[in-house]
Each structure stands twice: as C-alpha cells, then as structure tokens.
Amino acid sequence: MASGRQSSSMDVRRTPCSWSFSPNMALERLFLRIAALAIAAVTALALPARAQAGDGWELCNRTSYIIEAAVGHAQGTGVSVDGWTKLPPGACKTALPGPLTPGVHYLYGRGSTAHQGGGREWGGRHELCVDPTGGFSLESPPDCAAMGLEPQGFRPISITRADKWSNNFTEIENWTLDNARNAGLQRLLDEAGIVSGNIDGFIGGRTRAAINDFLKVKGLPADTSDADLIDYLEQAAEERSRAVGFTLCNRTKNRIWSAIARRATEGWESRGWWRIEAGGCARVVDRPLRGSEHFVYAEMEEPTGLRTLSRASEAFCVGRAKFAISGRENCEDGSYRTALFARTPAPTERKLVFEFFERDFTDAKQDDD
C-alpha cells in the first residue's frame, strides 16, 4: 500500500569559497564545539525519556479464551485503573504504554461473554473498581457502587523495569501462542454451534472444512485472517448464548452471592459462587437447559450480617470458596455445608431468568463463619 508520502528532489548548488587558517581561529572553533556539546548534553538530561516502539506493559494471552484485561498503576496517592484491553487467544498487546514507573501494578482479566460455562476470571484479592459495561479510565473512586461500578479482585504485579514488562494469561495447558490461537478457534467453533471436537491446539482437516463452510455462509473471503475469524466467531457464539441458558439477576440494593443446583447427567450437582452487584446479572449456564428442576441459593451482604432466601426448602451442598459439587447428601463429610435452596419456575424454551428481590430474603442475622 502506498504510504501517501510524496518524495521530492532538491537542487543543491554549492558556492565555492576560500578559507584562511590561523591558530586563534582553530582555538575559537574548538571552544565553540565543546560548548555546543555541553549544551546538548544538558538539554538531553532535561528532556523526558521517549518510549521506544514496543515499550510498556505487554500482556499475552496463552489461553483458549478471549480475555478482556484491566490494569492498575500508582497515580499520585491512589491507583489509576484502565480497561478493557481485548486479547484474542494467542495475541499480545500493550495494555500500559511506557515508560513505566517501577513498583507494584495490578492486573485483572475476564473471559468474553461469548464463552459458555459461566464467567472466567484471572486476578487476585486486591479489590479495585471497574466499569463492567465498557472501556474506562478511573482514578481511585472511593465507592464503586455509588458510581455504577463494581469491585474486582486484581493481582499485584511487581514491575522492576521502566522500559518493558510482560505478563502471560495461562490455563492448565501450557499453550504456545500459536497453539492458544488454534485452541481458541476450536473453542469458539464449538460455542457457535459450528463443529465440536477436541480442544487440543491443532487444526485438522475436519475443523478447517467447517471453517471454510462458515466463511461461505457468512459471505466472507476464504483468506480471512485468523484474527478476523475469531471476531466473527465470537459474535456468532454470543448470539447463540443469548437465546439459551440460565441467568440470575440481582434486583436488590446490596451485593449478593449466588449458587445454583440442578440434576446433571450423573445426578444432582450444585455450583457457586457468583457475585452479583446491585442491579447486575450473571449468566450461570450458557448452554440450553435440560430438565425442568432448577434451584437457586443466595446470601445478601448487609452491615449487620447475611440474609438468606426465606422460601427455601431443598437441601444442597455449598462450599466456602468457588465450588462444583456432585451429590446433595452428607455435605459436612466432604468439608462442605448444607444450605437450603429455592425452586425456580420451569425453563421456557430451554431458557430461564431468575430475579432476586428484597422480599425474597429473611431478616439479617450475624454471620458465624
């Protein structure tokens, strides 16, 4: 592609001149040269360092999921948080341009809503505010909820260099960037309902044929790049997930922690926790619902303690941290505890939305945990 920059030629005419040399002139020229070098050195010290190409905090996605990342760094007496940097599988991007200020920074990542099986997160325990709805740049707001934001747990990262730094998002498989991109394509092809198979990071003939069919149906060129293909597949997966699944919504004024229970292929199971801020929703199952029996549990946080669901009578197991438990009996034998879940209405067209209201909860009681 032409750069648009026009080249030009310049006609340089040299005028002959004669020089006469003397010792005084030589000393004067030497003095002027030394003075000019000294001024240039002082000026260079006074100017701020310029970031070179590739400088800054780079994030690499070595997972099979599309990740949206947010980063935090010291700003005055607080922390400035910026998001979201979208990282397709197998991609690297600069989330914070250089030069960097060495010290503690913060990192959080969330999976794209196109992915099935509930939200995935990469982070830690240091809570900072984020805007879940779109791009943002925040400077230490004192109250997340008052500004329509939500707190998320960030992982502290100690950065020791001012020019370049890099961190990886990973999963159990130790993917290379190329394998991660291929695995991401395989996952999205499955979630978009195009073709199912092993997510192993290697694209075979069957998968490639499915990709070609998808491109033809969408009217896209056969040489569509993998990066563009991932974008199209993400859109298709999101459209598919909106039509099915199980969503919980918080219609109270407080944060709640929620869990679900249902009959799976091998028997009863319970899963949690999903943190849902006031007015927010969480998609807890992204696949078409099977069966008609589904149950929910929730704990509402209040300064005086926790409030649980008042019309709940079905016992299932819950954990103290994130959990997925098979079975619903003898919970304490497995270091879990028993909680009473409420039955939901039956799904309609394999889809269910359940809303929690203030009236659904008991009076507050002190938490004994």
Nearest to 329 by CA among 320, 321, 317: 317
CA 308 to chain centre: 30
Are the CB atoms for 156 and 126 separated by under 8 Å?
A: yes
Give the Cβ contact number of residue 325 at 10 Å: 19
Q: 274, 210, 287, 192: which is closest to 246 by C-alpha?
A: 287
pLDDT at 29 over 70: no
- Which of 21-30, 136-145, 292-301 has the highest mean predicted lDDT (pLDDT)? 292-301
Q: What residue spans define the domains of the chain? A: 56-170, 177-242, 245-360
For residues 332 and 338, the answer to whether their CB atoms sit within 8 Å is yes
Q: What is the pLDDT of residues 75-124, one digit of tens each?
A: 888 999 999 999 999 999 999 999 999 999 999 999 998 887 656 899 99
pLDDT in tens, 187-238: 999 988 899 888 999 999 989 999 999 999 999 999 999 999 999 999 998 8
Higher-scoring residue by pLDDT: 43, 318: 318
pTM of the model: 0.63
CA dihedral 114, 119, 121, 126 (to 10 degrees): 130
What was the pLDDT predicted at 212? 93
- pLDDT tens, position by position, 321-358: 888 898 999 899 888 999 999 999 988 888 889 999 99
Mean pLDDT of the region 31-49: 38
How much is the pLDDT for 173? 87
- Please answer whether residues 67 and 91 qualify as being in contact, where contact means their C-beta atoms are separated by less than 8 angstroms: no
Confidence tier at 48 by pLDDT (50, 70, 90): very low
Whether residue 14 is predicted with pLDDT greater than 80 in this model: the reply is no
**Please, which pLDDT band fits residue 250 given cuts at 50, 70 and 90?**
very high
Give the span between the Cα atoms of 274 and 203, in whole angstroms: 34
Q: What was the pLDDT predicted at 171?
A: 92
Helix (H) or strand (E) holding 70: strand 67-75
The share of the chain scoring above pLDDT 70, in percent, equals: 83
